[in-house]
Chain A
Amino acid sequence: MPEQMLFATEAALNGLMAGVMYSLVALGFVLIFKASGIFNYAQGVMALFAALTLVGIQTGQIPFSHLINAIFGTDLHHFGWELPAIVAIVLTGLVMILLAVLIERIVLKHLINQEPIILFMATIGLAYFLEGFGDLMWGSDIKKLDVGLPQGINETIDRVTYDAFGYGFFIDNLDIVATVVAGLLVLTLSLFSQYTKYGRALRAVADDHQAALSVGISLRFIWILVWSIAGIVALVAGIMWGAKSGVQFSLSLIALKALPVLMLGGFTSIPGAIVGGLIIGMGEKLFEFFVGPMIGGATENWFAYVLALVFLVFRPQGLFGERIIERV
């Protein structure tokens, strides 16, 4: 194979892996959108909040220590313990479930029957609130997240491809783990929604709110459930992204990366989120590789949006979305 092709293949593979990461975030959006028709802008900040909480719990930080210090003039910062990663993850999962309950109680309950765009803007407000809250609770400095995931170049792939083509591919171990985890997550979620009672209730609510209510499904419970699941998905995404690039504010911007994925795949389809993520991930890496150098690089910021925009003009409901029928 010519060298250019090899580099392109490597870029494409890395793009696929990055796409999986986008899909992880997009998945959280799709879950909430299907069950409640809410486009949850706060999904990215939830991932940031989950990652912050995980690091905070794991390293034994005292919550709100900055605030307490400022008010009482004390000098608190750590409890002085280190928890094992698995315990910290479980505890963070519980925090995310608590958060879901609170969001339902305080915000969503009062916004039933509002227009979708009002709900969307409410989640923007929620995103701001959570961002401030997370920073206030754990401090805004960049933190290192280490739950024992393998990192760095995968030696085996490097060696095998070197032997085969004379050029070793650079594939990050973390990306491989992320791919496996994303696959498992999708599998679990599909099994859950196909074969369990609550999964079926979830699908019923997604189909028709009123019909679901009339057969005795509690809408409020389903909302709590689905926001909890989205919180857990955010936690997984937060762990993966946090391990990759540190826990900091920019983590919440992955929500912006997931939006074009959703537009491409359709807001209501779980497979759509995965396929959309893969297309966007690969597309932007290849575009950067072939066209980027000609027009100044750093095209990754907007390529996904423009791709999704062009795509939407031809197919407004996305790849796998349900056909939009409008009536007066």
Chain B
Amino acid sequence: MFYREAGDFKTSYVEDSQTFPLRLDRRAYYVLLAVAFGVVPLFINDYWANAVFVPFLIYAIAALGLNILTGYCGQVSLGTGGFMAVGAYSVYKLMTAFPDVSIVIHILLAGLITAGVGLLFGLPSLRIKGFYLAVATLAAQFFLVWLFNKVPWFYNYSASGQISAPERTVLGHAVTGPNTTAAAKYLICLTLLFALAWLARNLTRGAFGRKWMAIRDMDIAAEIIGVNPLTAKLSAFAVSSFYIGVAGALLFSVYLGAAEVGEAFGIQKSFLVLFMVIIGGLGSIFGSFAGAAFMVLLPVLLKNVLVGQLGWATDLAAHIELMIVGGLIVTFLIVEPHGLAQLWRLTKEKLRLWPFPH
């Protein structure tokens, strides 16, 4: 009854092409932003930050990145974990080499370095497609993890082979290291996510996004109508890797604090982010958020119910979690291949007509 475009008149092209054309949507979005930036940091504690909010924000960035590559440009990548490792090790090297420079600049630079590495591993996409490419990106995954494991320069010759983040501050508040408050962790991730999501939304609406989608839908046809596959594919790889690199840098420096490459950035990470994108919805910005939220919340929920309520052993709960995740992936692909984002879209369509559908 309230959710409809009737009476919402557009008087300029700018208004007509905005991201949230409905007034209600727009207001909900501003309220959400206000709550996320203004209210949540006041009440957040360590448990909520570490179990739910910070991982959600970080994985949302990674999912955005993979969604640009897989959902918008149609290039399936299984190298996400490896690229996240590049981000993490770049930020570590930068943090320890230039301690006076702001951590935000380091994180963005780590993203750029990852973009360069992604570009390199994206080159084969010009020759090979589909599964072949998916398997080729596995080469990136295994090679990068091996590299960070074997070359001591990357972990500053530390005896344990681990990297750990020293304390760095933004505007006087510690954001990495043991003295970080939950609110500081949350806010730095949220700010970066907000900026990157805004960028992603506008990139995918613009010329770049249209080129990517043309390549995804049929690359030969796209080439015939004048889309250069070289620039389109490589730009998708670069932008996607930038996002994933930033996510990896945040995951290591803000969330984990210390990391060992095989454990933190193994092949499981690649699949986790891929699942987020599938469940959330391929080719949708909202889907990246929904998928990340789903995959972060599901284990927490299952753990609370199975271990906390029923008192089962943790390994048993872990097995059931695997089954549920796998079953959900299959169910989603059968029932709704476009994921949670499509369900949301359908709900909105229904709401527009509610309560008089005829």
Chain A residues packing against B (C-beta within 8 Å): 39, 66-67, 70, 107, 110-111, 114, 116-118, 120-122, 124-133, 135-136, 140, 256, 259-260, 262-263, 267, 295-299, 301-302, 305-306, 308-309, 312-313, 316, 326-328
> Across the interface, do A125 and B131 meet the contact criterion of CB distance under 8 Å?
no
Q: B218 at the A/B interface (Cβ < 8 Å)?
A: yes
The answer to whether the Cβ of B151 comes within 8 Å of any Cβ in the partner chain is yes
Partner of B323, one of A116, A117, A136, A256: A136
The contact string, 1 if C-beta is below 8 Å from chain A, for chain B 116-154, is 000000001001101110111011001101100111000
Q: Among residues 283 to 333 in chain B, which have CB atoms less than 8 Å away from a CB atom of chain A?
A: 310, 312-313, 315-316, 319-330, 333
In whole angstroms, what is the CA distance A309 to B334 when docked? 32
Give Cα A302 to B134, complex, Å: 15
Task: Known pairs A107-B334, A132-B324; list 10 more (Cβ under 8 Å).
Answer: A117-B134, A120-B131, A121-B278, A125-B325, A128-B322, A132-B321, A260-B139, A263-B135, A298-B150, A305-B143
Inter-subunit contact A111/B334 (CB<8 Å): yes
Q: How large is the interface on B (under 10, 10 to 19, 20 to 34, 35 or more residues)?
A: 35 or more
Contact residues of B: prevailing secondary structure: helix
29 contacts between A and B (CB under 8 A): A66-B313, A70-B316, A116-B130, A117-B130, A118-B337, A120-B76, A121-B274, A124-B275, A124-B329, A125-B325, A125-B327, A128-B271, A130-B326, A132-B322, A132-B325, A135-B315, A135-B319, A136-B319, A136-B320, A260-B135, A263-B136, A267-B131, A297-B150, A302-B143, A305-B136, A309-B139, A327-B220, A328-B221, A328-B224
Closest 7 A-B residue pairs measured CB to CB? A125-B329, A132-B322, A129-B326, A128-B326, A305-B139, A132-B323, A296-B150
* Chain A CB within 8 A of B188 CB: no
Q: Are A121 and B323 in contact (CB under 8 A)?
A: no
Q: How far is the CA of A124 from the CA of B268 in the complex (A)?
A: 12
List chain A residues, Cβ under 8 A from B326.
125-132
On chain A, the residues within 8 Å of B325 by CB distance are: 125, 128-129, 132
Which secondary structure characterizes the binding site on chain A? Answer: helix
Shortest B50–chain A CB gap in Å is 25
> Are the C-beta atoms of B313 and A70 separated by less than 8 Å?
yes
- How far apart are B206's CB and chain A's nearest CB, in angstroms? 25
Interface residue? B267 (CB, 8 A)? yes
CB distance from B70 to the nearest CB of A (A): 9
Known contacts A132-B322, A140-B315, A306-B139; is-contact A125 B333 (Cβ 8 Å)? yes
Knowing A118-B337, A121-B278, A132-B322 are in contact, say whether A313-B127 is a contact too (CB < 8 A). yes
A-B contact count (CB 8 A): 139
* Residue on B nearest A33 in the bound complex, by CB: B131
Which A residues touch B329, using CB under 8 A? 121-122, 124-125, 128
Q: A118-B333, A263-B135, A328-B224 are in contact. Are A129 and B323 (CB under 8 A)?
A: yes
The 8 Å CB contact of A132, one of B130, B151, B218, B320, is B320
Encode contact with A along B168-186: 1 for CB under 8 Å, 0 otherwise. 0000000000000000000
B9-40 Cβ-contact flags toward A at 8 Å (1 or 0): 00000000000000000000000000000000
Contact at B316–A259, with CB atoms within 8 Å?
A: no
A118 to B128, CA, bound (A): 18
Q: How close is B165's CB to chain A, nearest CB, in angstroms?
A: 25
**In the bound complex, what is the Cα–Cα distance between A39 and B135 (angstroms)?**
11
- Determine whether the beta carbon of A328 is less than 8 Å from that of B218: yes
Kindly report which residue of chain B lies nearest to residue A130, judged by CB atoms. Answer: B326
The answer to whether A116 and B139 touch across the interface, beta carbons within 8 angstroms, is: no
Task: Give the Cβ gap from A139 to chain B, nearest Cβ, in Å.
Answer: 9
Say yes or no: A124 contacts B271, CB within 8 Å.
Answer: yes
Task: Say how far A305's CB is from chain B's closest CB, in angstroms.
Answer: 3
Q: Given A260-B135, A305-B143, A308-B139, are A114 and B76 neighbors across the interface (CB < 8 Å)?
A: no
Q: Are B139 and A121 in contact (CB under 8 A)?
A: no
Expressed in whole angstroms, the Cα–Cα distance for A305 and B151 within the complex equals 20
Select which of A111, A308, A309 is within 8 A of B333 by beta carbon.
A111
Q: Pick the contact of B316: A66, A110, A124, A128 (CB < 8 A).
A: A66
With A125-B333, A136-B320 already in contact, the answer to whether A305 and B142 are too (CB < 8 A) is yes
Query: Which of B151, B315, B330: most chain A Cβ within 10 A?
Result: B330
